[in-house]
Structure 1
Amino acid sequence: MNAIQIFDPAMCCNTGVCGVDVDQQLVSFSADLDWAKAQGVEVERYNLAQQPMAFAENSVVKAFLERSGAEGLPLILVKGEIALTGRYPQRAELARWAGISLLPVNAALSPDAGCCGGKKFC
């Protein structure tokens, strides 16, 4: 499974889901990260305001900031390489990077099970 690192712009708290005017995009992304973590995905998240050394000590992130500035954040790394910049990923992207399915294991039906799990009539 691939480790995913998120380098957030400066925010008031770790997730940005705080205060009175919460960005819905951050709420959705936070829920998607919780889902990914529940699937066993290794996720590390850094906030520029609270963990500036994580940005300075990572050569990929440091070079990105020198080129694009903090305006280019968020920056998403997968296995240490840039996967996405300037926006937060969707759940499907997180799943693809982590090599996991979006569907729960028990939701997969056999080809002959049909829509009702093998029942003739729904």
Structure 2
Amino acid sequence: MTSVQLAVVGAHLAGMPLHHQLTSRQARFVRASRTAPSYRLYAMAGTTPPKPALVHAAGGGSIELEIYELDVAAFGSFVAEVPAPLAIGTVALEDGTSVKGFVAEPRAMEGAEDITALGGWRAFMALQAG
């Protein structure tokens, strides 16, 4: 294996504040997609910049995401910078495949707002912007 596909759902999306952590590692955009309809998305409390938490859950929805491809070494250096309570796990996609992607520990939901109904982070950020 020489590369890894990585799904991002929040602050690492194109145009968002942490996207540079992908571009600085020469990540290549693969495609926009959605999760399988079994995830909940939360706006975590007290994060700077604002970040979401993606959690596999019964009664969830399908969440918008972007998939990037990174060389294995770049993926490793990226993962080393992911702060708890976020983590990298396996995310099921709407087409039945899966990729590595951002997921969250249960503690990420403490004080968080469930924004699943919005379908993605961009919609939430647009609401916040007014």
- TM-score class, shorter-chain normalisation, is under 0.3
TM-score by length of 2: 0.26
Larger Rg: 1
Which has the larger helix fraction? 1
Which has the larger strand fraction? 2
